[in-house]
Amino acid sequence: MTAFDSFTLAWRTVKSNKLRAGITIAIIAFGIMALIGIITAIEAMNQSLKESFSSMGANSFSIRYKDTRARMGPNSDEVKKTKRGLKEKKSNLNKPLRLEEVERFKANYNFPGALVSIYRRGPGGQELRYEDRKTNPQILVWGGDENYLLVNGYTIQQGRNLNNLDVQSGRNVCLIGSNVATRLFGERPERSLDKIIKVGSTPYRVVGLLKSKGSSSMLRQDDVIVTSYTNVRRYANIGPTYFIGINVTDINVIPVATDEATSVFRAIRKLQPTEEVNFVIEKSDKFAEMFIGFLSSITGAASAIGLITLIGAAIGLMNIMLVAVNERTKEVGLIKAIGGKSKYVRQQFLFESMIISLLGAIFGIILGILVGNVFGIILDTGFVVPWTWVFIGIVICSVVGLAAGIYPAMKAAKLNPIVALRYE
């Protein structure tokens, strides 16, 4: 009797006990499906985030208002200590970036090859209209300048960019995202040029059509309308702060450029050398890293859930194998009586346990990938296969099958053939 004979006999035994083997396979498969399915969905989300944020300008960084945490109680002194030993005046807290500050920065920041943009977030959730057509109330209005598009990764498909006269006068001209153009002008979005559209009740003349950046469920970058930041000032109930965007020619000089920007803006904000900065400089991929880090914690939780399920499946598998030993005691006695060695009996029960476990892994991986890629379809990221976790899933199930089969196999191998043949 060879190892192949033991494997063949184990396979026949599994096929002959379809219900018992099927239930155990299903338990293992659901555990692996939960693990692989969640991991696949997270991979799709990661890919969507990376694609969305990579289009925001890899050579760019921004300066924004530092929204400090409110402080109450006995520690709310006029001056607080920071982690680096610097001080931050209470008068500097909650201090938005004012228009005169950002304009002064744009005039004084002279880093070689750098372009500076001033922009401001306008009202969100707007409904745009053209004649009898309208968009969904999800359009975001941004106010920028002539450098806004380059700093934020937009390109013009047709028409022109904003110019200095548009910014200085604050006149009602705009550029629209591709989704807006498609919604208002159908299959010929180029017809939008020089047309008058309405944002709420305010008319705007379209001077440019933006090329699609590939909107996703994470970022609706094509559901935008861009006008000048001087025009956006007319809207009520919008944030009081401005933003500064800086684009450099080489990604390798960003650390030097950010240091220079910090120095210039500290002087503009009138911060003393011993005072902490009250603004934040961040790269375009910061939010992507934050979201991906959050998804990583979900990955850990999913792994824990999958492993707990597999531990339960391993216990169930071991119990079934012990029952199989008791049911097939006479069979084991007969194998030993005709000259079969203990190692072949041990091999047969181990093969049975491994076959059941690996079948559960295969079905679970297939179902998990299919379920997880539902998110890939929603996020339009293509078909995602987490090969690393597929391999990990197979290894885990192999270990589960081996661990669950060792004790029953050893118990079967130690049976006395005479006692086993007489077993009722």
Q: Block means of pLDDT (10 residues each) for the chain, length 424 residues?
A: 77 84 84 82 73 62 68 40 50 76 95 94 92 91 94 91 94 95 91 93 94 66 93 88 91 88 93 87 67 70 73 77 74 70 80 88 90 77 80 83 81 72 57
Closest CA to 65 of 276, 258, 244, 275: 244
pTM > 0.75: no
Q: Do residue 49 and residue 132 come from a single domain?
A: no
Question: Exposure string (b/e) for 162-171, b if CB count within 10 Å is 16 or more?
Answer: beeebbeebe
Rg value, the chain, Cα: 33
On whether residue 114 sits in a domain, the answer given is no
Q: Do residue 295 and residue 234 come from a single domain?
A: no
Helix axes 18-54, 286-327, angle to 10 degrees: 170
Q: Do residue 159 and residue 40 come from a single domain?
A: no
On whether residue 30 sits in a domain, the answer given is yes
Position 418 scores a pLDDT of 65
Position 277 scores a pLDDT of 87
Position 177 scores a pLDDT of 93
Position 51 scores a pLDDT of 61
Q: Do residue 407 and residue 297 come from a single domain?
A: yes
Q: Do residue 20 and residue 134 come from a single domain?
A: no
Q: Which amino acid is located at 34 in the chain?
A: A
Cα–Cα distance for residue pair 354/361, rounded to 1 Å: 10
Q: What are phi and psi of 269, to 5 degrees?
A: -80, 0
Tokens 């047969």 found at: 348
Q: Do residue 47 and residue 143 come from a single domain?
A: no
Q: Which domain holds residue 30?
A: 3-53+290-421
Q: Do residue 314 and residue 413 come from a single domain?
A: yes
288 CB-side CA count, 13 A: 18
On whether residue 150 sits in a domain, the answer given is yes
On whether residue 59 sits in a domain, the answer given is no
CB 171 within 8 A of CB 178: no
Total tally of structural domains belonging to the chain: 2
Both tokens of residue 219? 């970022």
Position 91 scores a pLDDT of 44
Q: Do residue 295 and residue 399 come from a single domain?
A: yes
Question: Exposure string (b/e) for 274-302, b if CB count within 10 Å is 16 or more?
Answer: ebbbbbebebbbebbeebbeeeeeebeeb
On whether residue 132 sits in a domain, the answer given is yes
On whether residue 383 sits in a domain, the answer given is yes
Q: In the listed set 222, 238, 254, which residue is the last one of a domain according to the structure?
A: 238
Q: Do residue 295 and residue 392 come from a single domain?
A: yes
On whether residue 399 sits in a domain, the answer given is yes
Q: In the listed set 221, 238, 255, which residue is the last one of a domain according to the structure?
A: 238
Q: In the listed set 210, 238, 266, which residue is the last one of a domain according to the structure?
A: 238
On whether residue 376 sits in a domain, the answer given is yes
Q: Do residue 158 and residue 39 come from a single domain?
A: no
Cα–Cα distance for residue pair 213/26, rounded to 1 Å: 43
